[in-house]
Amino acid sequence: MITSPPSALRPVFATRVLTGDRPTGQLHLGHFFGTLHTRVLLQEQGIDLFVVIADYQTVTDRDSPRSLPYDVEELVADYLAVGIDPTRATIFAHSLVPELNQLLLPFLSLATLPELLRNPTVKEEATASGMTALNGLMLTYPVHQAADILFCKGTLVPVGSDQLPHLEQTRAIARRFNRRYAQEGPVFPEPEALLSEAPALLGIDGRKMSKSRHNAIALAASADETARLLRAATTDSNPHIAYDPDHRPEVSNLVLLTALCEETDPGQVAEEIGARGAAELKRRATKAVNERLRPIRERRAQLINDRGQLRAILREGSTAAREIAQHTLAQVSTAMHTNY
């Protein structure tokens, strides 16, 4: 008689971190304090780190641009500049890992139409892009994202809160796959989100920081460009600086940005500036950002001089990811009785 093994004999999944970004332009301070920082900390603790350059996700709401190879190189440069180390971490792209993409097919059978239609992040993105009819990839990319995470059996996913619905979808797919096909012990872990402890940074206009809103400070921006952007930042009419995110979001955001860069407390920054007002706050924020980013910008400037090397790193990472994806796909084929 065949029974499932007792839980003590089931495989325990080693901690493995998977996260990633769409290659739609340079990364900014929101990314830096949101997840980049966490990725590097985890890497430094010796945890396996996988980073996907989600090129197939860029075609959810736009045509694939001619600039894509350039955008991908910029992203690799950002990763290396902040300290992701390709000798320890695996940086790869969807397009270079066919077996990852092949997982989409069985995974689609494990997601229901109502749950796809309910996903609030997909709804928001579809609305923001001005799409009149939802296309199939926009609707199903959270399932493809489940393949990003599960092909390498990722257990921990550092993301912003907008990605939580995708993580729920991933967990449901892993659970359903294991229940339906994996009687001999789970093939996939149910990954957990790792949310940044820092409150989300806003852009210089007080709205969510994002490239498409043109309110972001790129990691790659020059010191002068940073000063210009921060001089133009929205503040309010109260001349006394305080840290009060609920009532004074724009001023508080500049205080928070300064405190994050200086690794101090926002309350203290606000107190020190106090009656010296918004101009002083902007000066201090500019200095803090430029000092914090100086070594990263220097490294990045060097890296971007050798685009061939950046591509080579991506190809190597993708080859390593591909071996893992082939292995996982073979396990899936066995479980689904399709390995003839």
Distances (CA, A) of 250 to 111, 169, 235, 266, 281: 40, 34, 5, 13, 12
Is residue 51 close enough to count as binding ligand TRP by CB under 6 A?
no
The pattern of x and - marking residues 155 through 194 that bind ligand TRP according to CB under 6 A reads --x-x---x-------------------------------
34 vs 266 by CB, closer to ligand TRP: 34
Q: Binding segment for ligand TRP among 18-26, 251-259, 283-291, 307-315 (CB under 6 A)?
A: 18-26
Shortest distance (Å) from residue 157 CB to ligand TRP: 5
At which residue do the structure tokens 């980049």 appear? 36
CB neighbours of 97 closer than 8 A, spacing ≥ 6? 151, 318, 321, 322, 325
Is residue 145 close enough to count as binding ligand TRP by CB under 6 A?
yes
**DSSP code at position 119:** -
Among 27, 40, 51, 52, binds ligand TRP (CB under 6 A): 52
CB of 185 closer than 8 Å to CB of 9: yes
Structure tokens at 162: 């907008």
Q: How many whole angstroms separate alpha carbon 2 and alpha carbon 320?
A: 36
Helix (H) or strand (E) holding 109: none
For ligand TRP (CB under 6 A), the number of binding residues is: 14
Among 19, 43, 90, 119, binds ligand TRP (CB under 6 A): 19
Among 148, 253, 288, 292, binds ligand TRP (CB under 6 A): 148
51 phi and psi, to 5 degrees? -125, 120
Q: Which residues between 305 and 324 bind ligand TRP (CB under 6 A)?
A: none
Among 17, 20, 229, 248, binds ligand TRP (CB under 6 A): 20
Q: How far is CA 204 from the centre of its chain?
A: 21
Q: Binding segment for ligand TRP among 85-93, 130-138, 144-152, 231-239 (CB under 6 A)?
A: 144-152
Q: 253: burial class by Cβ within 10 Å (0-12, 13-18, 19+)?
A: buried
Name the packing angle between helices 249-262 and 266-273 (round to 10°).
Answer: 110
Structure tokens at 264: 């101090």
Q: How many whole angstroms separate alpha carbon 244 and alpha carbon 255?
A: 10
Among 40, 49, 54, 202, binds ligand TRP (CB under 6 A): 54
162 vs 271 by CB, closer to ligand TRP: 162
Q: Which residues between 97 and 136 bind ligand TRP (CB under 6 A)?
A: none
118 vs 247 by CB, closer to ligand TRP: 118
Rg (C-alpha) for the chain, rounded Å, is 22
Q: Binding segment for ligand TRP among 3-11, 16-24, 254-262, 287-295 (CB under 6 A)?
A: 16-24
- Spell out where the chain has E strands: 16-21, 48-53, 90-93, 156-159, 192-195
Shortest distance (Å) from residue 247 CB to ligand TRP: 30
Q: Which residue is nearest to ligand TRP (CB)?
A: 54
Is residue 57 close enough to count as binding ligand TRP by CB under 6 A?
yes
Q: 136: burial class by Cβ within 10 Å (0-12, 13-18, 19+)?
A: exposed
Shortest distance (Å) from residue 167 CB to ligand TRP: 8
Residues near ligand TRP (CB under 6 A) are 18-22, 52, 54, 57, 145, 148-149, 157, 159, 163
